Each structure stands twice: as C-alpha cells, then as structure tokens.
C-alpha cells in the first residue's frame, strides 16, 4: 500500500459559517494503481487532493482531523521542511488550469528545471539536458528550442503537456491530476490521458485522477470514489461500479451521460435540484432532497459507508 487516507476532514471557517468541504474521507491506493475521484463541482474532490499535500490555506481552511499515511509516514505530522521535500518530488500534482500554475514571466524550461535542481541536486547544465528529454517524452515538438518559450507562446494542450513533464520530472511515487484535460478538445484529451497513463505505467507510479467526466473514469481508472457534499458515498472497482451502481446519486450520474448504444429518441435523465450549501447541510442524508428513492429515515439520519457486496461500498439506507 502506497497511500492510506483515514477519516480526512477539512473545514473552512467563514463569516457565513463552517464549510465542511471534506468529511471523514478514507481510502487506500496501491503502487501502480489508478484511482478516480468523481462528483459534481463543489463536492470536495479538489480540496481532498490539496489536503494530501497540505496546500489548504490557513486561515480560513483547516485540516481538522485524520491521517494521511504515505509510504508508512503520516504527512499531517511532518514539519514544513519535510512536507516540502515530498511535494513535487515523491508526490506531484498537475493542476486544473496550467495558465494559473505556470509563471508567465519565466520560460517553460526554467520551470521544468526547478524541481530537478531543487530535489535532485542537478547542475543547471544537467537540468537543461533532462528538461529537454522530459519535453520530448510528453511529445512537445522541437523541445530543444521550445524550452526557451514562455507559457503564453504554448497552446493549451502544450501547456498541459509541460505541466505533466514537471509532474514526472522527479519520478514521483504518486501523481495527482486535478481535471487535467478541462477546456481541451476531445482528441487532445485522449492523447494526454493516454500519455499520462503510459508514463505512469512505465514508471510504476500511482495515479489519482480528479474528474467529472465518467468516460475518462471508465477508460483510465482501476478504482472509483464517488463524492457528494464532502463525503464518499460510493467506493468500488471501476468495472463493478459501471456494471452495478448502488447509490442513487451514482445511478443519476450514469443516467445523465449520453451513450452510443441508447435509442436516439431516449431522453437523458438529469439529477434534479442543486448540490447543497456545505455550510448548511440538510439533516440526514445530504442527497435526500434530490433523491427519487428517499425514505423517512433518509431525512432524519445520515447513512454511513458500508460494504454492500465484495469490495463495493455505499452510503445509502436502501441497503439496510
């Protein structure tokens, strides 16, 4: 086991109340495994990932409780110097929008070189040579010349490739990809995801993909966590989840996705309503105001995640 997250809870203290962004999230990840975290915007996917690297701004954010065991060591108990040696080295994160992550006044090459010089102790000459090889690995044409380009001189797809090369630069044990293909056209999406999956497979790196695209999940993930209102409401192997989704929210997500094998006259079934305000969660199950199968118990008592079938867990009173 590479990563073991136990009861991770992250809150934000605001004037409007306490926003419970992540609540009692637990999961495990093995070496070389690909895990996907899915759910609607605002469900806590990105905050849970930022919490792993302790990138939550304090204040207003605070990791209230939990354990994050990476290679057997609790990241939450490390000093700031220790966690800085983990970030970008043992654990890399590819952020959602590269233009907000890349520094516009530094060349692509200098930004790819930085982790090599910081974590691997390379000289500048060695870092330049390695950076060119990394850009070639992510299929950036004429890498020797493009290393001197600035972020605004790259297309969206090339900027994301540069971010991937930075993430892979120190051969991390774990890569966290937060919506890595947002705003890219589908052909570039597929190319980047195949590239990332292939590189992680070649290096034996574990991968966490944060997305709302269920097509990406089906193709690239081994396991899936479905989040709603800051909690995991279903956890399963990808094949099991698609074959037999258990939670009504997961069923709703799958029913709202167009399928090629459906009758073109068949209407999609959207999930009615809006996600709840995380500072004013409803009593009982957070999903019950939008659930077609809600019972009286759902309105009074929040269900806990429990195993319904082998290695398939769901938090729903339908299953007892």
| Predicted pLDDT of residue 108 | 92
Tell me the torsion sign for CA atoms 129, 132, 134, 136. Answer: negative
- 182: pLDDT confidence band, cut at 50, 70 and 90? low
Give the residue extent of every domain in the chain: 3-90+172-319, 96-171
Mean pLDDT in residue range 293-305: 92
- Percentage of residues in the chain having pLDDT higher than 90: 48
Residue 304 has pLDDT above 80, yes or no: yes
Length of the chain: 320
Lowest-confidence region among 65-74, 179-188, 269-278: 179-188
Query: Under a CB-based contact definition with an 8 Å cutoff, are residues 305 and 280 in contact?
Result: no
Taking the CB of residue 261, how many other CB atoms lie within 10 A of it?
Answer: 4
Fold of 3-90+172-319: Rossmann fold (3.40.50)
Among 171, 163, 170, smallest CA distance to 117 is for 170
| Predicted pLDDT of residue 183 | 61
* Average pLDDT value over all residues in the chain: 88
Residue 123 has pLDDT above 70, yes or no: yes
Residue 99 has pLDDT above 90, yes or no: no
- Percentage of residues in the chain having pLDDT higher than 70: 98
Mean pLDDT in residue range 68-94: 91
What is the C-alpha separation between 2 and 163, in angstroms, rounded? 23
Residue 188 has pLDDT above 80, yes or no: no
Tell me the torsion sign for CA atoms 226, 227, 228, 234. Answer: positive
């Amino acid at each position: 086991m590479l990563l073991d997250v136990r009861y991770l809870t992250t809150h934000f203290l605001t004037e409007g109340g306490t926003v419970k962004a992540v609540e009692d999230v637990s999961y495990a990840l093995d070496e070389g495994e690909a895990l996907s975290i899915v759910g609607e915007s605002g469900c806590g996917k990105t905050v849970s990932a930022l919490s792993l690297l302790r990138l939550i701004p304090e204040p207003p954010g605070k990791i209230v409780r939990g354990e994050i065991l990476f290679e057997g060591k609790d990241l939450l108990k490390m000093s700031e110097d220790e966690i800085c040696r983990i970030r970008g080295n043992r654990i890399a994160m590819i952020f959602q929008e590269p233009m907000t992550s890349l520094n516009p006044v530094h060349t692509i090459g200098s930004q790819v070189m930085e982790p090599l010089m910081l974590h691997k102790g390379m000289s500048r000459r060695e870092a330049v040579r390695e950076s060119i090889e990394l850009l070639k690995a992510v299929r950036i044409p004429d890498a020797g010349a493009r290393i001197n380009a600035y972020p605004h001189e790259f297309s969206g797809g090339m900027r994301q490739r540069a971010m991937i090369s930075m993430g892979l630069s120190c051969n991390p044990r774990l890569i966290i990809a937060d919506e890595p293909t947002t705003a890219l056209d589908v052909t570039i999406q597929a190319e980047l995801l195949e590239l990332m999956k292939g590189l992680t497979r070649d290096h034996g790196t574990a991968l966490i993909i944060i997305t709302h695209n269920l097509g990406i999940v089906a193709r690239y993930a081994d396991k899936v966590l479905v989040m709603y209102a800051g909690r995991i409401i279903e956890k399963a192997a990808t094949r099991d989840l698609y074959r037999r989704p258990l939670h009504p929210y997961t069923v709703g997500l799958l029913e709202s996705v167009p399928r090629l094998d459906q009758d073109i006259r068949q209407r999609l079934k959207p999930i009615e309503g809006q996600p709840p305000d995380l500072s004013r969660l409803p009593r009982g199950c957070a999903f019950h105001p939008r659930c077609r199968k809600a019972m009286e118990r759902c309105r009074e008592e929040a269900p806990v995640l429990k195993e319904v079938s082998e290695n398939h867990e769901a938090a729903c009173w339908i299953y007892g």
